[in-house]
Amino acid sequence: MRIYHNPRCSKSRQTLALLQERGVEPEIIRYLETPPDKAELQQLLGKLGIGARQLLRRGEAEYKELDLQRSELSDAELIDAMSRHPKLIERPIVVAGERACIGRPPEKVLELL
């Protein structure tokens, strides 16, 4: 298992703790320090079964600054924005093989166990 983790985020910390309480020690990817590239984001979206817009954090300043609410933006353009500005990526994301889940709420990741 892997977790795309932001240690400053309470939901991310709760999700990691929930996994560890169940004996799972996932590979921790601090995605703000090591942002996923476009190909990795595309793979994550496929595993999550969602479109790029659903992975965006709309409350971040970059969302407004980059005018990402425009409906005409393609998934490729949104993925490009997330790869350049990883704060825009919803967190945490937990990956188990070919499946993935966003830990909101943290208990949601238990579906992967």
pLDDT value, residue 92: 97
pLDDT of residue 105: 96
Residues involved in catalysis = 9
Q: What pLDDT is recorded for position 74?
A: 97
The reported pLDDT for the residue numbered 61 is: 95
Q: What angle do CA 79, 84, 85 make, to 5 degrees?
A: 95
Exposed/middle/buried for residue 28 (C-beta within 10 Å: 0-12, 13-18, 19+):
middle
- pLDDT below 70 — which residues of the chain? none
Query: Domains (ranges, CATH) in the chain?
Result: 2-112 (3.40.30.10)
3-state secondary structure at position 75: helix
How far apart (Å, rounded) are the C-alpha atoms in residues 4 and 33? Answer: 11
Separation CA 2–CA 74 (nearest Å): 27
Secondary element (H or E) of residue 60: none
